[in-house]
Chain A
Amino acid sequence: MAFLTLLVACFSCVKDVDLDQANEIVLSPEAAVDLIFFDLVASEFTTVSGSGVTAKDETRLDFLDDDYIQNDLVRADFNFRFTNTFESPLNAIIRFLSPGNGVQHTVVVPIPQGSLEEPAVVDYTEIINEAQITRIRRSIKMSVEVTRHDPSAVAGSLQLASKGFFYFEFQ
């Protein structure tokens, strides 16, 4: 019986499996994260130009430099929701900037005139696909520039809410 047991133990086998499939395993989590938000009023438009008055700001997004972004991010969707109660059309330019302030990617969103009673809502999604993803990997900052075309329309505000969907493939 011991011999049989030993025989079973020695000749026990591994079959009907293909361990080479380990090379095909891909972890593909999809992260949904908040990004920037603001509530921009007329007094914050401080730069005057030919096309109106402009407000600018920027923030670092240090996580863009992390390994999981640099090595494993394959797609990013950026969703921006603008709510405009200014009685003036606006133009929003969102830029992804490198550490040296080089522009890597630009998103331009025209925003129609709204009012306090009837806000204009623009829901815009920018999809950065695999072919473009290095633009995000090279970026570390996001800047926002908003131009209000009618400087005299001071009542109201422009609100932005935003989120990102980040698609990873860990191999």
Chain B
Amino acid sequence: MMRILFVLFILTFSSGIMAQNKQLLYNFDDLPQSLLLNPGAETNFDMHIGLPFLSQIHLSAGSSGVNMYDIFREGEGSVNDRIRSSLHKLTRKDFFTVNQQLEIFSIGWRDRKRRYYTAGIYQEFDAFVYFPKDPAVLAYEGNKNYIGRNFDFSDAAFTAEVLNVFHLGFTNYYSEDFNYGFRGKIYSGIFNAHSVDNTGIFRTELSPEGPNLYRHYMSQVDILINTAGWDELTDSDATDRQLMASFLKKAFLGGNIGLGLDAGFTWYPSDQYRVTASLLDIGFMRQTKNVENYRYYGDYQTDGIELLFPGTREYWDEWEDNLDKNLKDETLTNSYTTWRPVKFNASIDFGFAENAEPCNCYRPMGRRRYFNHLGAQFFAVKRPRGLNYATTLYFDKTFNDNFRGKITYTADSYSFSNIGLLFSARLSNFNVYLAADNLLDYTNLVKAQNASVQLGVQLMFSRE
């Protein structure tokens, strides 16, 4: 069991990808999902209704530092050697992230002034874990070969949350060349775990001037894990029915609540050039219900147990009492605030191969349109220790009224070989799309550092 946990620990708590980067959907104006990435995006339809639970299914996960192949490849060396090697290759900056979104409900419509309104609900799971390098080395190798070295508990940092997002947005066509939009969000929290800004070191050092051979230190330790909803998940007395009732209650505004805002714009410096940018999830959640905070803090040092000939013979109890007095373990119920991971997108693209079909006068497209777009996109997401970035080059091609595709090449700190494909088909008012990235790794998934997929079906309508 222990080793399975450790492998999961290595594989999952090891690093990451740009799991929230949806480079394939961004700027894809045939799909309403592009509005979720930029509320100021232009759209090429006048109404949409998502099929409940099917209009967007998004999954992504990955690891920047190691993959399955690094650990379980056949031949050369033992699996334990490879784990040890991976452990030393990874750094505290490596991270793991998983993101999943499911659109429960989605609708949008354009008014007579060409503004596009959207409303919907989606469920999201987001987890981000930095590789806890020093605690992992201490757990895997122990301190014997690391006398005099600090094991830093600040390496441990993670966030995880499950929530429902209720949103309402609009895109306003300010002028022929400039659109902007906003989306208000209410976050309905189902589960949250949050542990960042931990501090403290463990150190064992030789003690030539001390009474014993070593001296062990736990210095400035302050480890805090905040949770909301965890106590219910671990309540062994709760029935499945009770758990489901609680889950649904929290999913629909009966739990912890937060507020957020998306904003974005599209600007056409000329007919052929398009510049876009957006900020997503500028928001917070106030965790006040079902909260438990686990805190371990203090300072302590020890030389071992001194025998006094004769002593009280309660040496161990005295040593343990002293330990407990100096390193305290508390479970509290203090409310806390979490900030959502803010995302930033920006792009510039160039259109060519003009689409000479008559334009739809209900839409703000009083300019030349093009079948093909070649562009570059920048993405950043705020994480506990700073921003993570990705840059994408893309080619977006409209084949005809029914079929359109997009191919992307994305580079980030961890991968320079991420090729993605999106394909969208529209048959009458029915639309289906499928997008996946890191396609080169699909020939052998165990070598993949990361992968993501989005797919959905919806009804879309256009005024003629």
Measured CB to CB, the residues of A under 8 A from B are 1-2, 4-6, 8-9, 12-19, 21-22, 24-40, 44, 46, 55-62, 72, 79, 81, 144, 161-163, 165-166, 168, 170-171
5 cross-chain pairs, A with B, having the tightest CB-CB distances, nearest first:
A34-B304, A29-B142, A12-B442, A25-B3, A2-B423
- Collect the chain B residues with CB atoms within 8 Å of residue A2's CB: 423, 425, 432, 434
CB of B463 within 8 A of chain A?
no
| Contact yes or no, B3 A9, CB < 8 A | no
**B87 CB to nearest A CB, Å:** 11
**In the bound complex, do residue B213 and residue A163 qualify as a contact, i.e. CB atoms below 8 Å apart?**
yes
**Chain B residues with CB under 8 A of A19:** 72
For residue A170, which residues in chain B have a CB less than 8 angstroms away from its CB? 2-3, 6
Question: A34, B214: Cβ atoms under 8 Å?
Answer: yes
Could you tell me if B444 and A59 are in contact, using CB atoms closer than 8 angstroms? no
B112 at interface, CB cutoff 8 A? no
Are A13's CB and B3's CB within 8 A?
A: no
Cα distance, A81 to B310, chains bound together (Å): 20
CB distance A27 to B140 under 8 Å?
yes
8 contacts between A and B (CB under 8 A): A5-B421, A8-B439, A25-B6, A27-B2, A29-B139, A32-B204, A33-B214, A60-B315
Question: Distance in Å from the Cβ of B403 to the closest Cβ of chain A?
Answer: 8
For B69, B142, B303, B432, the residue with the greatest tally of chain A CB atoms inside 10 Å of its CB is B142
Is there an interface contact between A17 and B306, defined as CB atoms closer than 8 Å? no
Interface of B, helix, strand, loop or mixed by DSSP: mixed
* Closest B residue to A21 using CB positions: B79
- The answer to whether B357 has its CB under 8 Å from any CB of chain A is no
Q: For B310, what are the chain A residues with a Cβ–Cβ distance below 8 Å? A: 44, 46, 56-57
B145 CB-CB contact with A under 8 Å: yes
The residue on A at minimum CB distance from B139 is A29
Question: Please, which residue of chain B has its CB at the minimum distance from the CB of A7?
Answer: B442
Q: Which residues of A contact B78 (CB under 8 A)?
A: 24
Partner of A34, one of B140, B215, B311, B439: B215
Determine whether the beta carbon of A57 is less than 8 Å from that of B213: no
B436 contacts chain A at the CB level, 8 A cutoff: yes
